[in-house]
Amino acid sequence: MTPSILTAHRLLKSYDRAPAPALDEVSIQVAAGESVAIMGPSGSGKTTLLHALAGIVPVDAGQVTFHGPTGAVEVSSLSESRRSALRRDHFGFVFQQGLLIPELTAVENVSLPLLLAGYRRQDAESRAASWLDALGLAGMGGRRIGELSGGQAQRVAIARAQVTGASIVFADEPTGALDSATSVEVLDALLGSTVGQGRTLVVVTHDEDVAARCARIVRLRDGRIRDDSAPRGAAATGGPRFAGAGWSADEDGSL
C-alpha cells in the first residue's frame, strides 16, 4: 500500500457570519504520488479544504499532517511563519488566474521561489529555464506574462509551482479561465509534471472532465464529504511523462 503524504482528521472551520461551518468534521488521506480532485457546488467548502490542507488557513479544530521527507509534521499546529516555510519548501500552488507578476518575464517568475530560498540568480534562472523548456515554452523565457497566451501563462505557473521540488502541488481551478482545447493542454502539463513524475496533486475543480483525469474524486456538500471514489467507468488517465522532452525532475526540482 502506498503511504500517505497528507492526512487530515476531523477538520472543523467556520467563518464569521456564515450560517454553517465551511468544514464540518472532514477527514481525508492523500497517498504519495496520487492525484485527487475536490469537487462540489459553490459554498461546499472545497477551496477551504484545499487551503486547510496546504496550511494557508488555520482550522478551528482537527489535525492536518504532512508526511514529508524528514518525517511527519503536524501542519495545523505550526505557527504562521513555520507554515509559510513549509509551503515554500515542500508545497507548490497553481491558481485559476496564475497570480504571476506581470512586470517580470516568464523565467523571472519561475525563478522567484528559488531566489527567495537563497539561490544565486544564475542558478535559479538556469533551473527555471529548464522547467519552461520541459513544459513546451522553450525560447519564451524572456517574454512578459502579457505577451503569453492564457495556456502558456498557466504553464509558467506550473513551472513556478514545482521548480523548488515541491512534494505536493495544490491547484485551485487551474483550467477555469481557459477554453476546452487549452484546458486539455494545461491539464496534460500539470498531470505529467506531477503524478507523471511520482509527485502528488490535489486539485479543486468544477470541471468533470478535469476530475475524471484524477485517481480519486472527493465530493463535498455543506462542508462534508459526500463521496470519495475513483472516477466512474474508467481509471484515471493521468498525463504524459514528458518522455518526448527527455527530462525527469529530481527531488530538488532540477531537471
pLDDT band at 67 (very low <50, low <70, confident <90, very high): very high
- Residue 241 domain-assigned? no
- 37-41, 230-234, 240-244: which has the highest mean pLDDT? 37-41
Range of the structural domain that residue 171 is part of: 4-232
- Residue 174 domain-assigned? yes
Task: Give the DSSP H or E segment for 124.
Answer: helix 121-134
**Number of Cβ atoms within 10 Å of the Cβ of 147:** 13
CATH number (domain holding residue 163)? 3.40.50.300
- Residue 73 domain-assigned? yes
- Residue 240 domain-assigned? no
Summarised one tens digit per residue, pLDDT across range 156-203 is 999 999 999 999 999 999 998 889 999 999 999 999 999 999 999 999
- Residue 112 domain-assigned? yes
Summarised one tens digit per residue, pLDDT across range 198-238 is 999 999 999 999 999 999 999 999 999 999 999 976 544 55
- pTM recorded for the entire structure: 0.90
Q: Which residues pair with 69 in a beta bridge?
A: none
Q: Which residues pair with 41 in a beta bridge?
A: none
Question: Domain total for the chain?
Answer: 1
Q: How many CA atoms lie within 13 A of 158 on its CB side?
A: 30
- Residue 139 domain-assigned? yes
- Residue 218 domain-assigned? yes
pLDDT band at 83 (very low <50, low <70, confident <90, very high): very high
CA 86 distance to own-chain centroid? 14
- Residue 248 domain-assigned? no
